[in-house]
Amino acid sequence: MKKKQIIAFSAFIFLLLAVFLVWHFNRPIPVQGAKTITLEVIHGNGASASFTVNTDAEMLGGALRSVDGLLSGEDGPYGLMVDTVDGETADWNRDQSWWCLTRGGEWIETGIDSTVISDGEHYEFTYTVG
């Protein structure tokens, strides 16, 4: 019985190590130096605005915060929770609206403060209801 427990525990540790190594070697690596990214803002009325951001920041949050008046929100445990972009405020409590962040049309599963950027990327903030 004890031998089976030791084998099971060893297999579990091996699996954890394998998952960690896969994550470690496949995670995005921040790129240092000058980068140019584009942010497209799609407002609630369908109008859009495009912003070109030149930055040395490694994360999207740092790049976008460098543009005066572009966005604001509340800092939380996971970084900035964006509620206002290009002067338009999304309020979940009012009408279940929020800002959807995508890169090249694909949903980003990280917040702006933990999204690694690379030169030439295109991001979108879309005002979304529901």
pLDDT in tens, 58-92: 999 999 999 999 999 999 998 999 999 999 999 99
pTM of the model as a whole: 0.74
pLDDT band at 28 (very low <50, low <70, confident <90, very high): low
Question: What pLDDT score was predicted for residue 30?
Answer: 62
What are the contacts of 84-92 at 24+ separation with CB within 8 A? 85/41, 85/125, 85/127, 86/41, 86/43, 86/49, 86/51, 86/125, 88/41, 88/43, 88/44, 88/127, 90/44, 90/127, 90/128
Calculate what percentage of the chain has a pLDDT beyond 70: 95
The correct answer on CATH 2.170.130.30 for the domain covering 35-129 is yes
